[in-house]
Structure 1
Amino acid sequence: MKERQHLYVILVCACGVGLFAAFVRPPAFALNDWVLLYALVASVVVLNHLDFQLPPSGTKQSMDSAVILASLFVHGIDLVLYVLLLSYGILSVIRREVAVWKHLANFSMYVIMLVVTSVMFKGMGGHFGVLEVESVYIYLACLAVYFVVNTFIFGLYHMIMGKPILNVINGVIKESISAYASTLLLSLVLTSLFERTPFFGLFLFMAIAVLISKSFKLLFELYRSVSERAIYDQRTGLYNHSYFEEALESRLAEARRTGAPFSLVLLDLDNFKKYNDAFGHLKGDQLLEFFGGQLRRQCEQEDVVVARYGGEEFAIILPGVRADAACAAANQIRKRINDTYFEGVELFPHGCLSFSAGVAEYSKDVYDKNQLVDRADQAMYYAKAQGKNAVHVYNEDSVLQRTLDIEQDIREIEQQLNIFLSKDVYTFQHCKRVYRYALELSDRLSLSDAEKKTLVLGALIHDIGKLEIPRDVLNKKGKLSNEEWEMVKKHVTWGKEIASTNDKFKPLLPLIELHHERYDGSGYPFGLKGEEIPKLARALCVIDSFDAMTTERPYQKTKTFEEAIAELRAFSGKQFDPELAEAFIDMIEASGNEWAGEGSGAGGSAVAG
C-alpha cells in the first residue's frame, strides 16, 4: 500500500515538473511585470498562510486559487508558472515543519491543473488579457475543469489508500463545493479588476479575501468549540456517552459490512464511592479527571475511542482488535494505573488506584449495540466478582461466568424467599434444603450445564406460589378442609405467574408448575403421566417429597431417613420416576448422616405432597 502511495506521489511530481519545463519560457518581463509578479507571489503566500477549515469535517481551503486563476486569464501561463515557483519556494522556507516532498507535490498539482485549464481556455477560443463577457461560458467551463482535475488527483490518491473514489468525490462535493465555487468565481471578479487597475484591484481583492479567510477561521473555531462541548465530557476531557453510542453504532455497522473485528472494553473505577465518602465530591471529581487523563494518554492510537460512559464507568472501542489482544491491552493499562499515584489511594483495598474491566468482542450474532454493551458489562461484573482490579473476557462457555450467573440468580431468588421468613418459616427452610439436595443430585445425573442450573434454581423457587396462600392456611396445625386443600394446590399455578414476570426465570416455570405431577398420572395440576412430565420436574418431585417426609412439623409424624427411603421405593413407578428415585436414594445412602439434622421446616407427606 505504502509503495503504491509513494509511486503515485512520484508520478504526480514528475508530471508536474515535466509540464512546468515544457510550458515555462525564459522571463522577458518589463519592470511593471516584475513588480506585479512579486505582488502576486506575496498574495499567494499570504492567502496560503491564511488557509481555513470548513465545518463539519474540517476540510482545508485557501483563496490563493482565485489569484492564480485571475493571473492565468489576464497574463497567461508564463507568469503564473513563475508565481507558483516563487510562492512554493518561499512556503518551503516558511513552513519547514512540512516535508519538502509535500511542497513539491502541491506545486506539481497546481501546475497540472493550471496547464490543463490553460490548454482548455485556448482550445475553446479564449483570449488572455481581456475579460470577454460574451464568452463567460468559456471561463465557467475552465473553472469547472480546474475543479475536476483537482478532485480527480486527490480522489485517485485516496483510492490508492483504500478509500472508494466515488465516496471521496461525494465527500468533496458535499463538504467543500460551495466554498470552492465561491473561490473560483472570485477569480473572475479579480480578472475584471486586473483589467482596469491591476495593483489597486489586487489590493482590494486581498483585503476582501483576508477578511473572508479570517471570518471562515472564526466560524470554524466557533463550530469546533460547540462541537467539542457536544461530544466531550467536561470533567475528564474524554468523549461523552452520546458520542460513544454513535461511535459504537458506526463501528458495528462497519463490522457487519466488512467483517472487520473490534472489541469493546467497559471499565469501572474500583471503590470510587469509598473515596468520595472519605475525601468529598470535589476530590472525587479531581480523581475522575486524573483517571480520564491517564486513559487518554495510554490510548492515543488512531481510531481508538475512549469515553466516559457515566459516573466512574469508562468505555474503550478498539478497532481491529480481537478479545484476547484487547484483554492484554486493558491489563497493561490496569498495571500502569496501579503504578500511578494519586493522593488518598492508600485507603483502597489494593492500596493503589485500580479498575475492573470487561471485554466483549464483536461477533456475527450481535444484532444491536446494547447487546455488546451488556456482554462487556457482564464481563466487568465477573471481574469485580473475582476481587476487583482485574480484566475478564466475556465467554458464554466460561465456568466462572456460569458459576457467578447462578450465584447472582440465587441471590435474587433468596430476596423473594425472605418474605417466607415472616409468613411461613417452614416453607423458607424447606426451599433451602430442597435447593441443597438438588445441588448435590445435579452432579450425579447426566445433565447439561443449563439443566443443572435450571434444576438448582427451580428447587430454590419451586414453592414461591405459597406466598399467595393466607397465613392461617399455611400455618394450620389440623387437617385442611377441601376448600383449603384446593387453595393449596393452586400454589403451583400462582408460582408460575409470579416467576413468569422475570424473563430469566422462564426456564424454571415447568419445575414450579409441575413438581406435584405424579409418574402414574394422579398428580396435579394437569394429571400428566410418565415422560409427559419434564425430567427435571420428576427429579424435583422426588427431592420435594423426601424433604417433606423427613421434616419435623407439629401436625405430622416425621419419618426417619430410612423410613423415607422405604417410602420412595414403595411409591417408585407410581408417584416417582423409578430411575430418578433410585439415583436420589443412592445419593442419600452414600452421604451417610451428612443430610440428617439439617433443621426443621415444611411440608406434607409423600402421598399428600
Structure 2
Amino acid sequence: MSMLKRARTMKLNARHWYFLIVSIIGITVFIFINQADFLNYSLNNWIWLYALVGATLILDHFTFRLPPQGNGQSMDSSVYLACVFIYGAPFALSVCLLTLIILSLYNRKTPFWKNLVNFSIYVLMITGSSIVFSASGGEIGPIQNENIISYVIALSVYFSINVLLIGFYYVILMKSTLFEALKEFFKDIIVVYLSTLILSLALSILISSNGVFGLALFIALSTMLSYSFKQLFTMYNEIQEKAIKDQRTGLFNHSYFENLLDTEIKKSKAAETSLSLAMIDIDDFKKYNDQFGHLKGDMLLAFLGNFLKTECDPAEVIASRFGGEEFTILMPGYDENEARHFINRLRKKLNDTYFEGVEIFPAGCLSFSAGIANYRDDIHDKAQMVDLADQALYYAKKQGKNNVHVYGSGSVQEYEIDFAEDVRDIEQQLKLFLYKDVDTFKHSKRVFRYAVDMSEVLGLECTERRTFVLGALIHDIGKLEIPWGILNKKDKLTPGEWETVKRHVSWGKRIAETNERLKELVPYIELHHERYDGGGYPHGFKGSQIPRLCRMLTIIDSFDAMTTERPYQKTKTYEEGIAELRRCAGSQFDPELVELFIGYMQQRMLEQQQPAAGFET
C-alpha cells in the first residue's frame, strides 16, 4: 500500500471514530432530555410539530454554500432556535427527530450514518443553547424584550457548539490546528449566523402573534434569502473559475498553480508527507505549429489539456498549464517512484492516443518530455521546486525527448549533460580568439584535452573533474583583453608589454565573475601562472597555498606552451619538454604532480608511437 493510501486510511479511520463518539453522545443526550415527550402532545402540539418539521425540510432543501470555501449552510437552525425559545428543548428535539426520519426515508442515497451524525450535532446544539437560555433567566414562551440577553447567549452557545464540533473534524481530517480551523470557518459563516439569530427571533414573534400565517411568511422570507445566498455563491464560482482557469486548455492557470504549490509545500513540510512536481513539455510542438498553423496548434493544446484532466482527476493530482506548451502536474502524497510511474504511464498512453497530424512528429505520435522534482527539506519556496523540475525536464529533453527524468536520479547522466553544455558555452566564448589569436584558441583546446586525460590519472570525482577540465578550457580567457598588436607580436616582448600580458589573469577573473556558472573556475584562471617556489604571479603564492589542481594546470599549460610553436620561443620536442619539467620540478612545478604528468605522457607516447617532435591536434 502506498504512503498516500495509508494516509487516507488513517484519516478515514479517525473520522469514523469521531463520528461514532459524536453520535453516541448525541443519542444519549436526546434520550435524557426528550424522554419521549411527543407521547404527551395534544392535537395542537402535533399540528405545530408537523408545521415546523415542514418548515425545516423546506429550508434544508434550500441549503446554500458560502464563498470562498464553499461551506454548506441552511436556515433550518432558526426553526430549532425558535422552538427552544417558544416550546423548550424537548419539543425542539422532537422536531429534529421527525426531520431525521423523513430525510432518511426521502433521500436514501445519503448514508444513514451521515443523517445520524447531523442529528446528533443538532441535538447537542439545541440542548446546549436551551440550558444556557434557562440559566441566564430566559423564559419559554412568546418573545419578551427583557429576555434579549438570554436569546443572544443561547444563540452564541448554539453556534459555538456547532463551530467546535466542525472545527475538531477539520483538525482530525486536515491535521491543522484548532485555531486555524476555527479562524477560517468562523470568518466564512459569521454573516449567516447573525442572519439566523435575527430570523429565529423573527420566527418566534411571527408564530406567537400570527400563528400559521406567520410561519408561512417566515418560510417565504427565508427561502428568498437562501436563494440569494445560493446565487451569490454561483456568481462567485463563475468569477473564480475565470480567474483560475486557462481558457484554452480548461486546466488551472499559472497563477493558481503557483499559489497551490506554495500551499502544498507548506502542508508537506508540516505533515512530513511526500510531494512531487512534474513539468511537462510537448515534444516538437513548434514543428506542428509551423506545419498546420497556430489555430490547429491551439486545438492540440486543448486536446492535451482535456487528456491531462481526464487522467489526473481520478488520481487526485492537479494538472495546470504553466505557459506555452508546458504543463505541470502537482502530486501530493506521491514519492518520486510513484510520480515516475504515474507520469510514465501518462506518457505511454498519450503515445497511443491519436490526434490529427501527429504523423509529422519524429516518433510518429504525440509525446512529451517530463521532469520530476520531489520535495526535500532543503526546499524552502516554490521557485526552488519549479527550478528543479525544470532542470529535470531539461535532462529529459537532452536524453532524446519522449522521456521522464527524476531530478537527482541519474547523477551520471545529469553530470554528462551539464558538462557538455558548459563545454559548449565556453567554446562559444573562446571562438572570439579565432579573429584575434587562433593560436590561443588551439592552445586552450589542447590543454582541455590534457586535463580530461589527467582527471582520469588523478582519479577525480565528478565535481572536481568538471571544474578542473572546464578551468583548463577557459584558463586564458583574459587574453581577449590584451591588445592585438601585443598578442600577435613576432619579436620579443618589452618589459611593459610583458606586464600587460601578465594582467590577463586578472582580466580573466573579472570576466568569469560576471557569469554565475563560471565563478567556481576563477582559481584556474587567476592562479595558473603561480609557481611552486612562490616566484609566479599575480599573488606570489607558493606550495600548498596554490590549489592542487591549479598546480596541475600550470604543468599542463607550460608543457603545451613548450612543445607548440610560438613566435617568440623555440619549440621543444616532447622529450625536451619532459626534461624541462623535471629540471623545474620543485621550483616552478609541484614535483609530485610533475612525475604523474610525465608518467602519463610517456605512456601516451608509447601507445601512439609518436615521433620526438611536438604535434598539433
Fold conserved between structures, TM > 0.5 = yes
Equivalent residues of 1:20, 1:111 under 8 A apart: yes
SS in 1 for 2:518: helix
Aligned partners of 1:199, 1:594: CA distance in 2, in Å? 115
Residue of structure 1 in register with 2:145 after alignment = 133
What letter corresponds to residue 78 of structure 2 in structure 1?
Answer: A
- The equivalent position to 2:82 in structure 1, one of 67, 70, 79, is 70
SS in 2 for 1:197: helix
* Shift, 1:17, TM fit: 4.1
Residue of structure 1 in register with 2:556 after alignment = 543
Describe how 1:267-278 pairs up with structure 2 within 5 A: 267-278=280-291
The alignment status of 1:40 with 2:52, answered yes or no, reads yes
Describe how 1:317-332 pairs up with structure 2 within 5 A: 317-332=330-345
- The equivalent position to 1:500 in structure 2, one of 513, 521, 526, is 513
SS in 1 for 2:331: strand
TM-score by length of 1: 0.92
Residues 255-313 of structure 1: per-residue CA shift (max 9 Å, x gap):
33333332222222211111111111111112122212222222225763322222222
Higher deviation after alignment, 346-355 or 183-192? 346-355
Aligned partners of 2:404, 2:585: CA distance in 1, in Å? 50
SS in 2 for 1:395: coil
Aligned partners of 1:124, 1:452: CA distance in 2, in Å? 82
Aligned partners of 1:213, 1:26: CA distance in 2, in Å? 30
* Shift, 1:444, TM fit: 0.3
Residues 584-607 of structure 1: per-residue CA shift (max 9 Å, x gap):
222222122488899759xxxxxx
Higher deviation after alignment, 471-480 or 503-512? 471-480
- The equivalent position to 1:13 in structure 2, one of 14, 23, 29, is 23
Identity of aligned residues (%): 51
Equivalent residues of 1:75, 1:128 under 8 A apart: yes
Describe how 1:211-230 pairs up with structure 2 within 5 A: 211-230=224-243
Higher deviation after alignment, 405-414 or 225-234? 225-234
What do you get for the CA RMSD once the two structures are aligned? 2.6
Taking a change above 3 Å as real, the CA distance of residues 67 and 4 of structure 1, as seen in their structure-2 partners, is: same
What letter corresponds to residue 138 of structure 2 in structure 1?
Answer: G
The alignment status of 1:587 with 2:600, answered yes or no, reads yes
Taking a change above 3 Å as real, the CA distance of residues 40 and 302 of structure 1, as seen in their structure-2 partners, is: farther
SS in 2 for 1:503: coil
The alignment status of 1:417 with 2:439, answered yes or no, reads no
Aligned partners of 1:534, 1:4: CA distance in 2, in Å? 60
The alignment status of 1:339 with 2:349, answered yes or no, reads no
Equivalent residues of 2:572, 2:614 under 8 A apart: no
SS in 2 for 1:443: helix
Equivalent residues of 2:37, 2:91 under 8 A apart: no
Residue of structure 2 in register with 1:606 after alignment = none
SS in 2 for 1:374: helix
Describe how 1:440-451 pairs up with structure 2 within 5 A: 440-451=453-464
Equivalent residues of 2:63, 2:72 under 8 A apart: yes
Higher deviation after alignment, 209-218 or 237-246? 237-246
* Shift, 1:438, TM fit: 0.8
Aligned partners of 1:503, 1:586: CA distance in 2, in Å? 36
Equivalent residues of 1:552, 1:600 under 8 A apart: no
Aligned partners of 1:59, 1:555: CA distance in 2, in Å? 85
* Shift, 1:396, TM fit: 8.2
SS in 2 for 1:182: helix
Residue of structure 1 in register with 2:124 after alignment = 112
Residue of structure 1 in register with 2:381 after alignment = 368
Taking a change above 3 Å as real, the CA distance of residues 495 and 122 of structure 1, as seen in their structure-2 partners, is: closer
Aligned partners of 1:122, 1:498: CA distance in 2, in Å? 84
What letter corresponds to residue 567 of structure 1 in structure 2?
Answer: E
* Shift, 1:216, TM fit: 0.9
Taking a change above 3 Å as real, the CA distance of residues 18 and 255 of structure 1, as seen in their structure-2 partners, is: closer
Aligned partners of 1:403, 1:102: CA distance in 2, in Å? 58
The alignment status of 1:467 with 2:480, answered yes or no, reads yes
The alignment status of 1:207 with 2:207, answered yes or no, reads no
Equivalent residues of 1:236, 1:288 under 8 A apart: yes
* Shift, 1:14, TM fit: 4.2
Kindly tell me the number of residue pairs found equivalent between the two proteins. Answer: 601
Residues 545-585 of structure 1: per-residue CA shift (max 9 Å, x gap):
22222223455443332332232223222322222222222
TM-score by length of 2: 0.90
Aligned partners of 1:164, 1:570: CA distance in 2, in Å? 75
In structure 2, runs of 5+ residues without a counterpart are 1-9
Residues 399-433 of structure 1: per-residue CA shift (max 9 Å, x gap):
11111111111111111111111222111111111
SS in 2 for 1:263: strand
Aligned partners of 2:346, 2:381: CA distance in 1, in Å? 28
SS in 2 for 1:287: helix
Aligned partners of 2:24, 2:533: CA distance in 1, in Å? 94
Residue of structure 2 in register with 1:567 after alignment = 580
The alignment status of 1:526 with 2:539, answered yes or no, reads yes
Equivalent residues of 2:340, 2:372 under 8 A apart: yes
Higher deviation after alignment, 3-12 or 319-328? 3-12
Residue of structure 2 in register with 1:605 after alignment = none
Residue of structure 2 in register with 1:177 after alignment = 190
SS in 2 for 1:517: coil
Aligned partners of 2:405, 2:321: CA distance in 1, in Å? 20
The alignment status of 1:308 with 2:308, answered yes or no, reads no
